[in-house]
Amino acid sequence: AQSVTQLGSHVSVSEGALVLLRCNYSSSVPPYLFWYVQYPNQGLQLLLKYTTGATLVKGINGFEAEFKKSETSFHLTKPSAHMSDAAEYFCAVSDAGQAGTALIFGKGTTLSVSS
């Protein structure tokens, strides 16, 4: 069975500092990997995804993530945090072998950005 572990339920950074949100997955088959962001009282918005090909994936709002198969990780980074990045971030995995397979989410990491 697939699962996702997000290390750290809450991460606090200063504006301009590096953002690093950690995600490890467990999957018996090659997975698709996703990062979603959720702002208060909103649905989930896709930040980026890894399907195949280049392991460094760039997303919206300056975020990127690197798929490391040997470490079963897909950590999310951003070089310089903005106040507007404060939100809940979810890592998710799905079975690449079956199109349309439902996403399995981690518990989420709340990112706080201070001025």
Q: Does 5 bind other proteins (CB under 8 A)?
A: no
Q: CA 48, CA 91: separation in Å to the nearest integer?
A: 10
Q: Does 29 bind other proteins (CB under 8 A)?
A: no
Specify the residue for token string 């018996």. Answer: 28
Q: Does 41 bind other proteins (CB under 8 A)?
A: yes
Rounded (5°) CA angle 86-101-62: 30
Q: Does 100 bind other proteins (CB under 8 A)?
A: yes
Residues that bind other proteins (CB under 8 A): 4, 9, 32, 34, 36, 41-46, 49, 51, 90, 92, 94, 96, 99-108
